[in-house]
Each structure stands twice: as structure tokens, then as C-alpha cells.
Amino acid sequence: MGEFDLIRRFFQRPAAAGVEVGVGDDCAVLVPTPGARWLVSSDMLVEGRHFLSTVDPARLGHKALAVNLSDLAACGATPRGFTLALALPRADEAWLAGFAQGLWALADASGIPLIGGDTTQGPLNLCLTVFGEAPPGQALLRSGARVGDEIWVSGRLGDARLALEVFRGRVVLAGEAFEQVRVAMELPTPRLALGQALRGVATAALDISDGLLGDLGHLLAASGVGATLELAALPRSAVLAVQPPAVQQECLLAGGDDYELVFTAPPGARLPDVGVPLTRIGRIEAAPGLRVVDARGERVDHGLRSFDHFQS
Ligand code: ADP
Ligand code: MG
């Protein structure tokens, strides 16, 4: 199978609505919604760094797109298209079929067409770019949090990190419990509907990819504010809730790969109900820095920091 057969077989489909020219020409041609703003984001996934070589290719196809869609969700964008740049050691048909199936399933469920990309031989590496739209002035940014705002998070935190610790041999889980946290790690759900529903409601937002402490820290820095987080309020699964306190803290605060949205909103704001649980986890304050407190309001000395590719 040559490069162009591969593209035709796995990644080319008839152009979708809003796409004048899709895969097959030198550029894709998109039809913008009049007046809308473009929102663009890229995320690269490198074997051994972002995923294990043994991962099911369909799950990898899902995750590669999910982590990119999560950035659109964080900004409240409506997905419009994505590109896929793929380096593959060889054209393994079974692997490609699985990967494409996972990718297309999430693309179809999210209403986002594949509009182009690049395919090359090389160490397994996936780089996607997503394009979305939002009305002028309505993109959710990191910089809008105000003193007195409440801090909210969607879904549950820490399960993906717990699964990683099982793979690393630091935590033992079996059966249903392991499958549940493994799904959190391998099949994250981008919170697109929530992000769009938070336009005009949230003052600031981002998605958690590298761990709550670090990612929330970026939001605080961008907004020029500080915050206090309540450790006991952080939403966690029944599987994580029975782990030792130190493991729970690490997974919740510095886990990474959560792909949940953290956002701020004034007290009393009418939050949207899109079927995703929302939990209030803290408050924005004027004093700079991020404090974590326990159920009695005492400072928790966690000693944790977020994932950093060049410091880990
Ligand atoms: P060019 O050499 O002009 O950059 P390519 O030969 O690399 O174009 O690709 C041919 C067409 O296939 C282009 O439309 C490109 O966007 C698309 N394409 C290449 N690889 C992929 C891929 N992995 N997924 C989707 N589209 C792809
Ligand atoms: Mg060309």
C-alpha cells in the first residue's frame, strides 16, 4: 500500500458541509460563518511519551482527536475541521483500520470533518490541528477570572493518572476497577457541549491536560489573581476514593490527562446543564498563588507540581 492509497483508503471521505474542498488538493477550502472568529489549536502525540506502544489503535485514534477537541471545548468553540499529520513506521493495514475507526467515530460524534493532513514514514507520531469558530468576543479565555469568582470543574479528576500508576506498577487494580480508570486514560471525552454552553457564562476556562495545579496556575497567572482550592471537594471516582490519601492527592492535583474543563464564574451564575456533573472546587482571590486547603480549612502541604516535558 503506497502513501496515496493509504490516504484514500483510511482518511479520505466526500467533503462535508462547510468544506468546499477537503482531502485531496494542496489546501482545504473552508466556508467561514460570517463574522465568526477562528479558533485554532494543535496537539502532538509521541509514542512512549503520550501513549504506550501497546495501546489499542482505535483508542489511540479516539484520544488523538479527543485531546485536540478538548482545547476547542475549553475555548467554547464549535468544531469546524481538523488536519492529521501522521508519521508511521510502516503501513500496517490492521493498525491503520483500527486507528481510523476510533478517529472517525469521535469525529462523526463531534461533527468535525477531517480536511487534510500529511503522511510520512518515521517513528510513530501524530499531530492534529483543530479549527473551530465562536462569535466575536465570546471565546472563553484563561484571562477573565475575577476576584470573588467561584472555580468549577467538570466530571471527575485523577482516574487517568491512577491508570498510569497501574501501568507503572505503583498501584494494583484489577477487573472492573482497572477497566474504568483505563477508559478514563485511553478514551477521554472532550467537553464540547459544555464549553459552548459556557459562552457568556464563564469568566475564564481551560482544559486540564497536565494536572489541575499547574493548569489552574496558568489561568490564575493569565488573569492576575490567586485562588484557594478545597481538596475534599475535588470530584473523584469510587475507585480513586479508596486509594491511600497520598495517591489520591497526586492523582487529583497533579494527575494530568483528565481533559475536564476548569472554569470560573461569579457566585450565583446560572450554569448550563448538559448532562456533565459540575463541582465547585474553590474561589478566586486577590492574593497571588494557589492554596490548597483540607476540609477544616487548613493549608495542605502537597509538594506537588504539574507535568512539564522538560522537567520530568
Ligand atoms: P502535498 O504534497 O501537496 O502537501 P500530500 O501529497 O502530502 O499533499 O497530500 C495529498 C492530500 O492528502 C492533501 O489534500 C493532504 O491534505 C491529504 N492528506 C495527506 N495525509 C493525510 C492524512 N493523514 N489525513 C488526512 N489527509 C491527508
Ligand atoms: Mg502540494
Residue 49 Cα to ligand 1 midpoint, Å, equals 25
Domain ranges of the chain: 3-134, 150-293
Do the beta carbons of residue 129 and residue 40 sit within 8 Å? Answer: yes
Give residue 311's pLDDT.
66
Give residue 15's pLDDT.
81
Give residue 308's pLDDT.
67
Do the beta carbons of residue 278 and residue 150 sit within 8 Å? Answer: no
- Which of 60, 115, 118, 129 maximizes ligand 1 atoms within 8 Å of its Cβ, making it the mutation to test the pocket? 118
Q: Which fold has domain 150-293?
A: Phosphoribosyl-aminoimidazole Synthetase; Chain A, domain 2 (3.90.650)
Q: CA 249, 250, 253, 259 torsion: positive or negative?
A: negative
Q: Which atom of ligand 1 is nearest to the CA of 118?
A: 20
Give residue 94's pLDDT.
97
Output the 3-class SS for 226-243.
EEEEEHHHCCCCHHHHCC
Q: Which helix (H) or strand (E) holds 24?
A: none
Sequence-distant (6+) residues with CB within 8 A of 197 are 272, 274
Give residue 146's pLDDT.
98
Give the helix, strand, coil percentages of the chain, each rounded to 5.
35, 25, 40
Query: Is 5 marked as a binding-site residue?
Result: no
Say which CATH class 3-134 falls into.
alpha beta
Query: Is 10 marked as a binding-site residue?
Result: no
Mean pLDDT by groups of 10 residues along the chain of 312 residues: 93 92 96 97 94 93 98 98 97 97 98 97 97 98 98 98 96 96 97 98 97 97 98 98 96 96 98 98 97 94 73 62
CA-closest candidate to residue 240, choices 229, 255, 257: 255
Give residue 304's pLDDT.
80
